[in-house]
Amino acid sequence: MEPNKDTPDTVSGALAEHYRQIIRLLGEDVTREGLLKTPERMAKSMQFLLHGYGQDPEAVLASAMFRDEDYKQMVIVKNIDFFSLCEHHLLPFFGKAHIAYIPRKYITGLSKIPRVVDIFARRLQVQERMTRQIKECIQKTLDPLGVMVVIEAQHMCMQMRGVEKQNSLTTTSDFTGFFQQAKTRVEFMNLIQK
C-alpha cells in the first residue's frame, strides 16, 4: 500500500467535508450547535485511529534488536490491549493479544512487541489478517525459532448490529517454527492463561 502524500491538514479538511456530507445525508442539521465541530472532530479521530498506515512495524522491532543474549526459551508478552476498526463496517473491535517467540540470534526490547500490535491494529483490519501480519513481522524481522500469536477480541459489528450477541468473543491464532509442535503450543497456552 502506498503512503498518502497529502499533508495531514489537507487530509483532515477533506475528511471533515465528507463527514459533513454524511451527517447531512443521514438527516441531521450540520449547522446545529452540537454538530458544528463534529466533522472536524471525526476527521481527527479517524486520523488517530488509523495512524498505523504511517508506521513501519519491522523498523520498530529492528530499532531494538540485541544479539549478545544467549536466550533460547520462550519470550511471552501477554494481555496486550488493542483497539482496531473492522474494515467491513468501520466499527471497533478490541481485545488482547498474546505473543511469544523463541529467539534464535536476537531478542527485542519488550515494549516493541506491543508497538507492533498497535501499528497493525491502527489500520482498517480483520482479526484474522492482523494475527497473521503480527506473526509474519516478528518472524521476518527477528528470525526466531518460532512465533505464536493469539488474539481475543470483541467485535462491535456483532454486538451492536447484525446478530447482536454482546458476550461473543473471537479468538484467532497463528504460529511458525517450534510452535508447530503441539507441546510447545500447549505450554504457551498454559502460560497465557495463568
Which residue among the candidates 89, 136, 152, 154 is catalytic per the annotation? 89
Active site residue 89: yes
CA torsion angle 74 127 57 118 (round to 10): -90
Which residue among the candidates 40, 47, 55, 157 is catalytic per the annotation? 157
In this structure, what C-alpha cell is assigned to residue 179? 510452535
Active site residue 155: yes
Active site residue 98: no
* Count of C-beta atoms within a 10 Å radius of residue 168: 12
Active site residue 87: yes
Which residue among the candidates 17, 28, 69, 87 is catalytic per the annotation? 87
Which residue among the candidates 17, 21, 88, 166 is catalytic per the annotation? 88
Which residue among the candidates 125, 127, 133, 139 is catalytic per the annotation? 127
Which residue among the candidates 98, 133, 139, 155 is catalytic per the annotation? 155
Which residue among the candidates 86, 125, 133, 139 is catalytic per the annotation? 86
Q: Which residues pair with 102 in a beta bridge?
A: 146
* Count of C-beta atoms within a 10 Å radius of residue 19: 20
Q: How far apart are the first and last CA of the chain?
A: 39
* Residues tagged active-site: 86-89, 127, 155, 157
